[in-house]
Amino acid sequence: MNTIGHYVDGSRTQGAARTAEVYNPATGAVQAHVALASAAELDRAVEIAARAQPAWAATNPQRRARVLMKFVTLLNRDMDKLAEALSREHGKTLPDARGDVQRGLEVVEFCIGAPHHLKGEFTDAAGPGIDMYSMRQALGVCAGITPFNFPAMIPLWMFAPAIACGNAFILKPSERDPSVPIMLAELFEEAGLPKGILQVVNGDKEVVDAILDNETVQAVGFVGSTPIAAYIYERAAAGGKRVQCFGGAKNHMIVMLDADMDKAADALIGAGYGAAGERCMAISVAVPVGEDTADRLIEKLVPRIEALKVGPYTAGDDVDFGPVVSAAAKANIERMVQSGVDEGAELVVDGRNLKLQGYEEGFFVGPHLFDRVTRDMEIYRKEIFGPVLSCVRAETYEEALGLAMDHEYGNGTAIYTRDGDTARDFAARVNVGMVGINVPIPVPLAYHTFGGWKKSMFGDLNQHGPDSFRFYTRTKTVTARWPSGIKEGGEFSIPLME
């Protein structure tokens, strides 16, 4: 059986003896093993990166940008190959896998503008004969710890701006779907990236702790659950590193009385059940305002949910979503669904009995819809990360707004309404990092920044957009004064002491 190793110093390496299993989520079968690096292996990769980084940082930003341009071309060339490898290990549909790669590619395109983004500021005549200017300089070696649910997009969000800024980068991807990150590193070097600048080290907590404790690593990015985000932030920051950690979410969509109910229902189907709900920006809570609004919304949702096609990515592009990533994830979702039933929520659509012929051992979970969920229930308080949509009925707009604002997570939210005043008020007041107005999944485009509030984010700079260039550089400010003399003309007599 194939063993997936690491990508270090420009080549694939097998790594030490310790491994983990990589499953095919559709069948439940083990399809490969992935090497789990030791702390010593991580330290070696960091040493190689540290040796390669100064020359890369000294490379003209425009020449670095040309490597990124070529990388974009290669990503487009191998889009289908990357998507198939991603779907095989993650389980998401091929169109969704292509979207995973595409949203990462768009960040690479933004980073091609590095020569502009890295420009400093200049003030002439700040004082008598004094000029002041600032420079943005690379940090050195940076690292990223990325999740299973976007094995292409989130690594690209991290290492593209870091490398564009002149840093070297150590990527620790999820051990559940490790193939695509290594393929990305190979493509980047095919584009002209020097060896050692981007390295992929697979592993578990041992490697994560080695990254956090390695003094050469200057910055760490993370995406995953909130408890681990808090752990990584605290440990890395205590070691003097720059850190950005993105955690869990519980995203609300407010549906007002005047909303187009068909459009709202369609939005909830895609945002709630796409990728089997394994998105940190998935809408998992619908908040219709008023009983009539709620009744009409449920009436629209039920037939749409019952018509969803669940299956393996090999079943064609008309599959709506595939399996969840692991047996443990499936078991947790089913436990949470039972918790909702036990606590009194109304299970309108029950997907627990989904069976697919030939895929009985796969990690498939059918779509679920709960109505009359209350804020004290576990299915409301906790992130489920599965195809489960909860409807929490609100009597007023203020009550609906309060639900989103009072929740401990603040990643994304949305409102569906035709009223501009309501939409403007919602966008201005809600304490959530990303807001959609008649847009269900408000993931910003690459030239804006991505990041939540509250317990969804630890740190003070977001991913991609202008914040990424701030995060992966340090600002140096220079004050210069040059002595006067040579501009006065040549001196033909011997200078005398004064």
Sheet holding 434-437, edge to edge: 346-349, 368-371, 388-391, 283-288, 251-255, 412-416, 434-437
HSE-up (13 A, CA, CB side) for residue 58: 5
pLDDT given at position 379: 98
Q: 23: which residues sit within 8 A by CB, 6+ positions away?
A: 29, 30, 31, 176, 326, 327, 363
Pairing of strands 122-127, 168-172: unpaired
pLDDT given at position 485: 61
| pLDDT one-digit tens code per residue, 411-461 | 999 999 999 999 999 999 999 999 999 999 999 999 999 999 999 999 989
Q: 413: which residues sit within 8 A by CB, 6+ positions away?
A: 251, 252, 253, 254, 404, 430, 432, 434, 435, 436, 442
Q: Please name each of the domains of the chain with its CATH number.
A: 3-247+456-480 (3.40.605.10), 251-437 (3.40.309.10)
Residues 312, 378 contacting (CB under 8 angstroms): no
pLDDT given at position 1: 78
- Which residues are tagged catalytic? 280
Residues of the chain with pLDDT under 70: 485-498
What HEC string does 30-46 produce?
Answer: EEEEEECCCHHHHHHHH
pLDDT given at position 126: 87
Token pair belonging to 15? 């790594």
Query: How far from the centroid of its chain's Cα atoms is residue 185's Cα?
Result: 18
Q: Is 193 left (phi over 0), alpha (psi -120 to 50) or beta?
A: beta
pLDDT given at position 16: 76
Which string of DSSP letters, residue by residue, matches 158-196?
A: HHHHHHHTT-EEEEE--TTS-HHHHHHHHHHHHTTPPTT
Question: Which amino acid, one-letter code, is at 83?
Answer: A
Q: How many Å from the N-terminal Cα to the C-terminal Cα in the chain?
A: 85
The torsion angles phi and psi of 227, rounded to 5 degrees, stand at -60, -40
pLDDT given at position 46: 98
The torsion angles phi and psi of 21, rounded to 5 degrees, stand at -85, 140
Nearest-CA neighbor of 373 among 347, 350, 352?
A: 347
